Structures are given as C-alpha cells and as structure tokens.
A and B are shown apart, each in its own frame.
Chain A
Amino acid sequence: MKYSSQAVAKPYFIFALALLAGEILFGLLMATQYLFGDFLFPLIPFNVLRMVHTNLLIVLILFGFMGATYYLIPEESERELWSPWLAKVTFWVFAVAGVVTILGYLLVPYATLAEITFNTLLPTMGREFLEQPTIIKIGIVFVVLSYILNVTMTVIKGRKTVITTVLLTGLFGLAFFFLFAFYLPENLVMDKLFWWFVVHLWVEATWELILGALLAFVLIKVSGIDREHIDKWLYLIIAMTLVSGLVGTGHHFYFMGAPEYWLWLGSISSAVEPLPFFLMILFAYTVTKQRKIQYDNKMALTWAKGTAVMGFLGAGVWGFMHTLAPVNFYTHGTQLTAAHGHLSFYGAYIMIIFTIISYAMPILRGRPKGNCAKAQKVELSAFWLMNIGMMGLTLALTVAGVMQIIQQRTGVNPLGFMEVQATIAPVYYTRIAFGLMVFIGLITYFTSFFIKEEKAK
C-alpha cells in the first residue's frame, strides 16, 4: 500500500461481500418459492424477497465501486485521498441507510412503508429496482455526491491519468442518470421511458466506463505494461460503449408505447453493444501475452480475464440473443430476460468487484505479494464453483425461457401463464441446484481469507 488513505477501501470491500452473500441467500429463497408457493408465504411474499435480492445487488455494486475507487484514486493521483474522514462517514451513512431499507422491506407491508416515509409528498416508489423510499433515494444522492466530491478533489489536486478521467466521467454519469429516479409521471409510458434512463444508462453506459477503468487499472498493475498502450485500449472500449449503448437504449422501447422507429434504431445500435465487451476480452488476453512482469498474485489476473469473458457471455452473447426487435417480440419479459440479467450482472459487475478485491485486499492486509499459494488455490476453486454455478443457473433459465415462449406465445392454442410455469418445474429445480453451487463457491471464497500465511522458510 503506497498511501495510508487507501485503507478506507477495506470496510467497503468487506461489506460488499457480505451483501452478496445476503443477495444469493434471498435468490435461493425466491427460487424455492417459485416451486412451493406456500414457502414463507404470507410471511415474506415473493415481491419482498425480490426487492431485497435486487436492491442488495445494486447497493453491493455501489459499495464495490466506492471501495475500488478509494483504493485506486490515491495511487493514480499520487497523493493521499482528499478526505479519508469523509470516506469513513460516507461508509457508515450508506451502510446504515442500506440496512434500514432492507429491514423496512422485511418488517412492514410495502404500502405501509410508502405511507410512513411520506411517498405522497414526492412519489418515486414501486418501480422495479427503484423500490427504495424517497427519503432513502435522497440519502443515496448525498452519499454519491460526497463520494464524487472526495474523488474529484483528490484527482484535481494530483496527477491526472486517463483511468481517473474515465472513472470520474462514469461516476458523474451515474449520479446524473440517477436523478431520473425522481421523475414519476402519471403516464405509464413516460414513466417507463425515463425509468430506462436510470437502468439501461447505468449498466450499459456509465457503469461500463467504470468497469473499463477498473479493469485497465488492475491490468496495468499485474502486467507492468506501459500506460500509453493500456490507455488506447481503454479509449477504444469506452468509445464503442457510448456509440452503441446510448442509442441502444432503444432495445427497451420496442413494445412499451414508444414510436415504431425504435424497432430498427434500437436493433441496429444495440446489435453493436457486444463489441466493447469483446474488446475487453482482446484487451485482457493481449495484455496477458505482452506482460513484462510475473505478478505473484495470480488470482488477480485470473479474475480480470474471467470478468472479460463472463461479461462478454452475459452481456454480449445473452444480450444479443434477444436484442433484435423481431426476436424480442417473443422473448420480452420471459425467463430469458432473467437468464440474461443474471449472467450479465454477475459477469461484468460482480466479477470486476472480485477482481479488484482479489488484487487490493492482500495488499491492504500487508501481503504485497498476494496471498500464499494455498489460499490462492482455494480462491481458484471458488472462482470455478461460482462461474460454473452462474453459467448453469443461466442455462437453466434459458431453457425455462424457451419452454415458456414455445408454449405460451406460439402456436394456435397457447397455454396460460400458470399452466406453463407448472411444466417448467423440473428446470426450476436445476436452477436451485446451480444456485447452491454459487453459494458454496462464495463460502469457499470467504474461507480463502482465513488461510494463514505459510511461514517464510
């Protein structure tokens, strides 16, 4: 660790991992309720489990991004963080707000939660991923602003690099597009249009800049390749992101009341969206081939390559699968959407967080050469357990989606939704099995943290 203020990253990383465990646990509960409707009902209805599952996901990614930034920014800027104190306060405010929100979901009916948090004053609740009470959303704005202020001040006062510029652009974009969460018009179609400004323009535009910057940072560190070369790759990746991803938002405007021209505009531009993810694979593998040093912490590079590959599969391949309007006509809002949602979020955003944690955590714990060989071996099995588990879960959902589409949406005598779901039950059992595998993988990953250093010989 070059700068002592980098240490503020540690609680962010630990908390992000704890939230991930919670997320997967709730995923497993949901998967069980899918098959046994009376499981946990009426104690925790499905929608509540789902809110907890997806909100934990988003919050854990934000914690991961924050930890990653606080670790990387001092090193890139070659100075201490502007205010480590503020970073610590922000951590506690965000952590408490997050826990309170989850407890709110679990302890009171959602309508009551809306009432006691004065949703009528500024209604924003009740939309997928944006279920948080308005007051919590306002809190998130303040947390993000304090985070951006801290990062910006550090960058301004220190060395400016392409990585920090791209990262900051991504962060400003993240903050800007979140503001659309406060716009809730009476017209459902307008509501949907701007809802995607948060959801799509986060995962397929601004977060992708952050993803690119974090990947570039770790690749520089583990390869020893000079910056000029890395910067060029980073620019190309984010150029393709913006060129395809902005107008690509149109792949959500086919069947929700927006004009017809989105059918072809959205199809054409989003068909290019896999390209930046493909470039990330080329980037990671080219850098590996040309690397100038043998970095002792092998797992950091393994995770980085894994991110590129799994991100491409989840976002690129599974995204492309249903992004053309004539295909999306049949797949829209089916289990196939869920298949893509899982592999893309995991491959791109959960894995980049594993990458940065795997790189930074040993250093933060005073092991500049990475964890001992035994710990790395355990980490590698965790890597495979989680990747194979997520891949299996995704394939199961893909089969479920195809079964759903064929029976419910094609043919002259389509079956009803509930009937079709009953026929998919065996596949949903498989999903639980792979979900358990992911959970075991995560526990294995946790144990790798507790393996004692081998004594120096």
Chain B
Amino acid sequence: MIERITKSMAKNIYLGGGLFALLIFTGLTFDTVQQIPKRSNDDKITPSVAAGKNLWEVNNCVGCHTILGEGAYYAPELGNVFQRRGGSDEAGFKEYMKGWMAAQPMSEPNRRKMPQFNLSDKEVDSISDFLIWTSKVNANQWPPNIEG
C-alpha cells in the first residue's frame, strides 16, 4: 500500500491533515474553556481556595499524591479526601486536616512518610478549602469509589 503513495501525496496528507487537526483541536479548546467555569464552580473560588492551591503547589503535595488522578502514585488520591476522611462535612474535615498535618511524620517504622510542613492553622484551612472545592468539580463520576 505504502508503495502506491508518492512523496507529494504524503506531504499533502501531512499538511492538510495536520492543519485540519489543529483547527479542530483549537476550536474544541475554546469550547472547553467556556464550559469549565460552570463544571468546576469557578464562582466558588474564594481567596482561601486560591491560597490553598498556592500552598498545594509551593509544598509540592503533587510530588507524592494524585489529585483528580494526576500526580505521583506514592500516596493516596486527594481529590476526594473530603468525602473519604471528612465525611463531606466541612467543619469536621477542617478539624481532621489540622490534626493530620500536625501529626506528620508518623512514627510507624518504614511505613511511607509524609513530611512536616509547619503550616499555620489558617494555612491548613486554606488547603482544606481548596480540597473541598476540588472534590466538587464535575469529573464525570471519577473516581470509581471512595478509596480514590
């Protein structure tokens, strides 16, 4: 089959096909950008949620954890930790988070360790707000169950 294709035909498939795909992809990206605010509750991004995201980044939590399935595979998924450890109760989750962050690293020998980040209560609350916001993103019913 390849024998029957000439070089100029191949070139045209490349240019035409590539350009076509690029246009489609650009168009779809625009549409996706339009739809994301609603699917992610963009209006619920409070200053505390934004601060929490920043803390998530500068402490590189994603270097051990996944969030909505992306990141590292060393430690539990945190996109739904609000449901798993907080039982979907905001006040309860914030208490849990303060206790958890303060207790690190734990002492069980040779269990995988999470470092101590020395964050203030307010900072931990921000991270909790960010994780609560994340857990409400419409991610097409992912993850399959509460364990993430």
User: Which residues of A are at the interface with B, using a C-beta cutoff of 8 A?
Assistant: 33-39, 41-42, 45-48, 50-51, 110-111, 114-115, 119, 123, 125-128, 131, 184, 186-190, 192-193, 228, 231-233, 235-236, 238-239, 242-243, 245-247, 249-250, 252-263, 265, 282, 286, 329-330, 332-335, 337-338, 408-410, 414-418, 421
Contact = CB atoms under 8 A, between A and B. Distances in A.
B70 A186 contact: no
11 contacts: A38-B113, A50-B63, A110-B63, A114-B57, A186-B50, A189-B137, A235-B14, A255-B143, A259-B31, A330-B144, A332-B69
Contacts of A263: 140
Given A46-B72, A188-B40, A243-B21, A41 B105 contact: yes
Interface string B45-89: 100011001101111111110111111111111000000000000
Contacts of B33: 190, 193
5 closest Cβ pairs, A-B complex: A47-B63, A126-B57, A333-B69, A255-B142, A235-B10
Contacts of A249: 25
A187 B36 contact: yes
A418 B84 CA distance: 14
A236 B144 contact: no
A258 B32 contact: yes
Contacts of B142: 254-255, 329, 332
Contacts of B6: 232
B28 interface: yes
A41 B60 contact: no
B147 A408 contact: yes
Contacts of A265: 28
Contacts of A259: 31-32, 35, 39
A224 B11 CA distance: 22
A333 B70 contact: yes
Contact of A188 (B2, B21, B28, B137): B137
B13 A235 contact: yes
Contact of A255 (B37, B68, B134): B68
Given A47-B60, A125-B58, A256 B68 contact: yes
A236 B5 contact: yes
B60 A110 contact: yes
Interface of B: 2, 5-7, 10-11, 13-14, 17-18, 20-22, 24-25, 28-29, 31-33, 35-37, 39-40, 42, 45, 49-50, 53-54, 56-64, 66-77, 105, 109-113, 115-117, 130, 133-134, 137-140, 142-148
Contacts of B146: 414
B66 to A, nearest CB: 4
Nearest to A119: B58
A36 B115 CA distance: 15
Nearest to B23: A246
B47 to A, nearest CB: 9
A33 B5 CA distance: 53
A233 B109 CA distance: 56
A128 to B, nearest CB: 6
Contacts, number: 227
A42 B32 CA distance: 42
Given A41-B105, A242-B14, A417-B77, A192 B28 contact: no
A186 B45 contact: yes
Contact of B72 (A50, A119, A242, A253): A50
A41 B113 contact: yes
Contact of B37 (A46, A115, A119, A187): A187
A421 B76 CA distance: 10
A333 B73 contact: yes
Contacts of A35: 110
Given A265-B28, A337-B73, 5 more contacts: A125-B58, A232-B2, A256-B69, A257-B36, A333-B69
A242 B146 CA distance: 38
Nearest to B109: A38
Most chain B CB inside 10 Å of its own CB: which residue of A45, A250, A337:
A45
Contacts of A189: 36, 39-40, 137
B101 to A, nearest CB: 14
A125 B56 CA distance: 10
B53 to A, nearest CB: 6
B11 A254 contact: no
B16 to A, nearest CB: 8
Contacts of B37: 187
A46 B115 CA distance: 9
A338 to B, nearest CB: 6
Contacts of B42: 187
B113 A45 contact: yes
Contacts of B11: 235
Contact of A46 (B21, B31, B63, B138): B63
Contact of B105 (A42, A51, A186): A42
Contacts of B18: 238-239, 242-243, 246
A45 to B, nearest CB: 5
B63 A235 contact: no
A163 B38 CA distance: 45
Contact of B14 (A125, A128, A239): A239
Contact of B134 (A39, A128, A188): A188
A45 B114 CA distance: 8
B36 A232 contact: no
B144 to A, nearest CB: 5
Nearest to A260: B140
B144 A410 contact: yes
